[in-house]
Structures are given as structure tokens and as C-alpha cells.
Amino acid sequence: MSEVLVLAETTAAGVRKPTLELLTAARALGEPAAVVFGEASDAVVAQLGEYGATKVYAVGAPEVSDYLSLPKAEAVVQIASAANPVAILVTSGPEGKDVAARVAVRLNSGIVPDATAVSVDGGTVVATQTVFAGRWQARSQVVRGPAVITMRPNATSAEAAPASPSVENVDVAVSEGAKGAKITSRDPKVSTGRPELTDAAVVVAGGRGVGSQEGFAVIEQTADALGAAVGASRTVTDQHWAPHELQVGQTGKTVAPSLYLAAGISGAIQHRAGMQSSKTIVVVNKDAKAPLFQLADFGVVGDLHQVLPALIDEVGKRKG
């Protein structure tokens, strides 16, 4: 069976959830082989194996973390030229897309960005994209070279399929041309203590209905009561009631948690594009005709400033 390269993203806490989703998706195409940049610790290798990686390429060259995406792209091209994979899967994100595009050009291959699913049809890899704010699905095949596909986080769920990966250390000869942009400092993001929006199992999101920046606090309090991440509509982030990194939707983040609680959000198509794959959707809105109720599994018609505090109280009582 052909290899499917999966570009792994790791943090101090281990392998990021979107990478585990890629490994799960890769199993439908061939044998997942993870590419790890930096240290491939035993814990990282074990976690990759738990989700089906049969091989781990460990790229230890310091250049891959000292410079922006070019050394990573060169490393992937080197590995792909030797392994001849059927596809290369990358998490959709600023760096992932940058690396993926460079890899596709250098392999004289094709790229499909922001896929939501991958499959095989007649022996060829097919990537599915959700387009026009979720109204249409497009299916594409890369017609030459390995299919380079970036996949949206949360488009699929990560499912374990234990394997025992072999580890191959890869020596990469990074060219001088790839060292054009050096990383000179890193400032770790100040943690809010809440889960990452795109990784979270529960998201509580607020819209214009919160009324003000102060009004948005009830969204944060509800999220904290449920151990959830906080999301927002674009109206909220445009008015600086919440930071832009919390925006969910077509021009924000895509989430697909087990539970998405939307309060004071009308349900514009651009917002739905970022959350419609959530497993269970709960809507709180004082207008019974709000379009988001069409997507809701559970709906409460009411003022969020009354409904959410009552919910927080109830959750508190049940936690004891």
C-alpha cells in the first residue's frame, strides 16, 4: 500500500488534535506516515502510532524551527521524492498552507486547500471542499504527482487505530535560499486557561445579542461553567467586544465540537459555514424566527441574559 505523508504538528503537550484527524483521514488513502519537525520524542511517536502512523520521519535539522516555512517545504519534498506517497496531508492553517503550496509547486503536483474529507475513487485520491459558505460541495482530483491536500481542523473526528511505527531520522540539506526569513523571537500566547477554539469539544459562542462588551462576559462565564472554549460572531469581533481570534465562520475559524451553544447569533450563512458540522447545536435567541434555529438540535427562545445565568446556576448545582 502506498504511503500517505501526514505533516505532524506538535506542542509541549504532545501531538495536536488536527494531526490525529489527518492520520485518521489518511488511513482511507493508504499507509499513514507522519513527518515530525524537531524532536520526535517517544511520547510523540507513541501517540502518532496510536492513531495509525506506520512510520515516522523525524526531521531534526535545527533550520526547520529556526526559519519560516521554506526549510520544512524542502524537507517534505526530499522525503516525498524518495517515498513517492499517494498524497500529502497538511492541516489548514497559515503555516500549513504555506508549506503545502511550496511542496506542490516543487513536486510539480497539484494542491487542494481547505478540504473537509478525502477518499479514493477509481484508484485516485478525491478531496472534498465545502464552498460558497457551505452551500455546495466540490470534489477534486489532483491529476499529476502526489495530491497535496490541506484539511480543515475538526472536519473529521480522530479515531484511534493502533500501529507500531518505525522511526526514520531524515538528514535534510537545507539550501541557503530557504534561509531567507529567520525567526528571531517567539512570544508564547498568554493562556486563558480555556481550551483552544478549534480543538475544543464544547464551544459557547456569542453574537450581537449580548449587547455590549460587558454583556459578552456571560458567554465567557457559561463557557467556564461548561469547561468550553469561547467563540463569537463577526459582529462581536468587529466591535471589539471579543478578540478576532475567537471569530467563528467563513472568515474566521471552523469548529466542529460535540456541542456548540450559540447565544444571540442570528445564523448568517457566513457564520454557519464555520460551525454547521458541530455534532449538537443549541441555540438561545429571543427571536423564534432566527435562522440558526433551523440548524438547532435544541433551541431556547428567550433573552440570553436570563437563560445563560440560569444555565450556569443549574450546571453549578449539578456539579455539586
Ligand X SMILES: Cc1cc2nc3c(=O)[nH]c(=O)nc-3n(C[C@H](O)[C@H](O)[C@H](O)COP(=O)(O)OP(=O)(O)OC[C@H]3O[C@@H](n4cnc5c(N)ncnc54)[C@H](O)[C@@H]3O)c2cc1C
What does the binding site for ligand X look like in residue numbers (CB under 6 A)?
207-209, 233-236, 247-252, 264-266, 268, 270-271, 274, 284-287, 290, 303-305
Q: Which is nearer to ligand X, 189 or 289 (CB)?
A: 289
CB of 309 to ligand X, least distance (A): 12
Indicate if the alpha-carbon torsion angle 67, 87, 276, 256 is positive or negative: negative
Name the β-bridge partners of 129.
Answer: 115, 138
Distance (Å, rounded) from C-alpha 91 to C-alpha 25? Answer: 11
Nearer to ligand X, 72 or 271 (CB): 271
- Nearest distance from residue 128's CB to ligand X, in Å? 21
CB of 255 to ligand X, least distance (A): 11
- Report yes or no: 263 and 216 within 8 Å, Cβ to Cβ: no
**Residue 50 or 303 having the CB closest to ligand X:** 303
Nearer to ligand X, 55 or 272 (CB): 272
C-beta of residue 105 within 8 angstroms of C-beta of residue 134: no
User: Which CB, 179 or 286, lies closer to ligand X?
Assistant: 286
Joined together, the cell numbers standing for residue 25 give: 483521514
Question: Least separation, in Å, of the C-beta of 235 and ligand X?
Answer: 4
> What residues contact residue 155 under an 8 Å CB cut-off, 6+ apart?
21, 115, 116, 117, 254, 256, 277
Rounded to the nearest 5°, which phi and psi values hold at 264? 70, 30
Cell of 158: 480522530
Toward ligand X, which CB reaches closer, 76 or 284? 284
Q: How far is the CB of 105 from ligand X (least distance, A)?
A: 28
d(CA 300, CA 281): 11
Q: Which is nearer to ligand X, 192 or 250 (CB)?
A: 250
Q: Smallest distance, Å, CB 141 to ligand X?
A: 29
For ligand X, the closer CB: 119 or 213: 213
- Shortest Cβ distance from residue 229 to ligand X (Å)? 15
Alpha carbons 10 and 44: distance in angstroms, whole number: 8
Q: Give which of 152, 144, 142 is closest to 276, Cα–Cα.
A: 152
Tell me the three cell numbers of residue 214: 460587558
Using an 8 Å Cβ cutoff, are 250 and 243 in contact?
A: no
Q: Nearest distance from residue 274's CB to ligand X, in Å?
A: 6
In order of 243, 271, 286, the CA distances from 215 in angstroms are 14, 20, 15
Instruction: Classify residue 320 by its DSSP letter.
Output: -
